[in-house]
Amino acid sequence: MIKVGDALPALTLSEYSEVEDNGCSLGPNPVDVAQSVAGKTIAIFAVPGAFTPTCSAKHVPSYLENHDALKAAGVDEIWCLSVNDAFVMGAWAREQKTSGKVRMIADGDAAFAKATGLTLDLTGKGLGLRSNRYSMLVRDGKVVTLNVEAPGKFEVSDGATMLEQMK
């Protein structure tokens, strides 16, 4: 499992864009992780699935509520990762109203979850291999803090905890 001090895996995820800007076309666009985190401080949180109850009602809202404070504390971007495709993540972004605040990034084939060792097998629940619920603060591509939730819990990976750890 990835740990504090480790570099994020160098791979490509995807993100749905509804507007063309900064070289992004409409629709799914590649997100080169190494390139996207270079020289930046990124608050990343991962969820088992888009549109799922805890993820929609608590996890994403906790980062939206703490967006301004996290930015003031030095976070350049906030990312939400989930093992879903970019179209689902784009629809979830619209539903959660994350535009300009949280980048909803798809780990469609669980490559990031597998590379970090942060997988959650929900095969028996009909969801297959997913990402564990966690948060991490990343500076210039290296993990500074890592908060991995116990199965079925939502206690340490929320936006308020991330903000408190930055103080």
Question: 44-58 pLDDT, tens per residue?
Answer: 999 999 999 999 999
Query: What percent of the chain clears pLDDT 90, i.e. is strictly above it?
Result: 84
Say whether pLDDT at 10 is over 60. yes
pTM > 0.85: yes
Say whether pLDDT at 27 is over 80. no
Q: What pLDDT does residue 164 have?
A: 97
Query: What percent of the chain clears pLDDT 70, i.e. is strictly above it?
Result: 95
Structure tokens at 130: 């997913």
Nearest CA to 17 out of 93, 112, 131, 126 is that of: 93
Enzyme catalytic residues: 55
Q: What pLDDT does residue 76 have?
A: 98
Nearest CA to 137 out of 65, 84, 28, 63 is that of: 63
Rounded CA separation 117/101 (Å):
27
Alpha carbons within 13 angstroms on the beta-carbon side of residue 105 total 28
Q: What pLDDT does residue 89 have?
A: 96
Say whether pLDDT at 26 is over 90. no
